[in-house]
Amino acid sequence: MPNHLDDSLIVFDAEGINQGSIIAIEGIEQYNGVKVGSARWI
């Protein structure tokens, strides 16, 4: 379920219990100039 306040994604288990949120982290430039994104579990 998307959360539009902080652009996170709320994760529920099969029983409908909230397991937390995943939030995207902006990419950082690597040595070859390619931006890489990642996610953080909160």
Per residue in 11-35, pLDDT tens? 899 999 999 888 877 666 665 766 6
User: Averaged over 35-42, what is the pLDDT?
Assistant: 70
Kindly tell me if the per-residue pLDDT of 1 is higher than 60: no
Regarding pTM above 0.75, the answer is no
What's residue 2's pLDDT?
60
Closest C-alpha to 39, from 3, 4, 14, 7:
7
Contact 25, 15 (CB under 8 A): no
DSSP 8-state class, residue 34 = -
Pairing of strands 8-12, 18-29: antiparallel
Do residues 9 and 18 make contact, with C-beta atoms less than 8 angstroms apart?
Answer: no
pLDDT of residue 36: 67
